[in-house]
A = this chain, B = another copy of it.
Amino acid sequence: MAVADRKAKDKEALKALILKAAKKLFVEKGVDQTTIRSIATAIDYSVGTVYVYFKDKNAILHALHTQGFIHLSGHFKVLYNVSDPMERLKAMGKVYIKFAITNPDMYDLMFSLKAPMEFLDAINQEEWNEGKGTFDVLRTTVKQCMDKGHFKGHQLEPLAFMIWGMVHGMCSLEISKRSCGVNLGKPETIVEEGYGEFLRIMDKL
């Protein structure tokens, strides 16, 4: 049955090829300006082939979405070396920001997927479970900080949500600004400065 195995690998390879081309075009031309035809042309396949490997355009978006979260969680792995939870928490924000600012188009994709989404799809649930997965890493770290005596008088869930919202909010505002051409070109972004303020605040908690 080696043949079947190779076929399966080929299928995965072509699927990956489609995704690679789609991602490149999304970044270059934007999601709306990227047509299925342009993706097919880029990899020298026909339109129909793309539809064999992906149900529709949203499925491609969804796959890239998933890739993005996997990519991000990969970056988080360096944090396993940081034993002190407070230091880990601080570093986690920096990793998150670096990822978002370095891959703004991918980050956009990861968090602006509501419009073309069918409501309440099973797929959709998966999507947010992945988001929840990254959030769990944050929640766990905050919990460990509290166990060590930090954040006295605060509640775990809302506090973790606030921290995620803060980092996400600054990143998405900055990315929006940049895609609108409002770029001040500072070497250190306002996002990192803003996060610096938060770090100074955390030192007191």
Q: How many copies does the complex hold?
A: 2
Within 8 A of B (CB), among A73-130: 108, 111-112, 114-117, 119-120, 124-125, 127-128
Which chain B residue lies CB-closest to A135? B173
Within 8 A of B (CB), among A169-183: 169-173, 176-177, 179-182
A153 within 8 A of B: yes
Q: How large is the interface on A (under 10, 10 to 19, 20 to 34, 35 or more residues)?
A: 35 or more
Rounded to whole Å, the gap between the CB of A147 and the closest CB of chain B is 17
> Do residues A158 and B127 form an inter-chain contact, with CB atoms below 8 A?
no
Which chain B residue lies CB-closest to A198? B162
Which chain B residue lies CB-closest to A129? B182
With contact pairs A165-B173, A179-B114 given, residues A158 and B190 touching in the complex (Cβ less than 8 Å)? yes
**With the chains together, A170 CA to B166 CA distance in Å?**
7
Which chain B residue lies CB-closest to A176? B114
> Do residues B161 and A190 form an inter-chain contact, with CB atoms below 8 A?
yes
Which chain B residue lies CB-closest to A132? B182
**With the chains together, A195 CA to B162 CA distance in Å?**
7
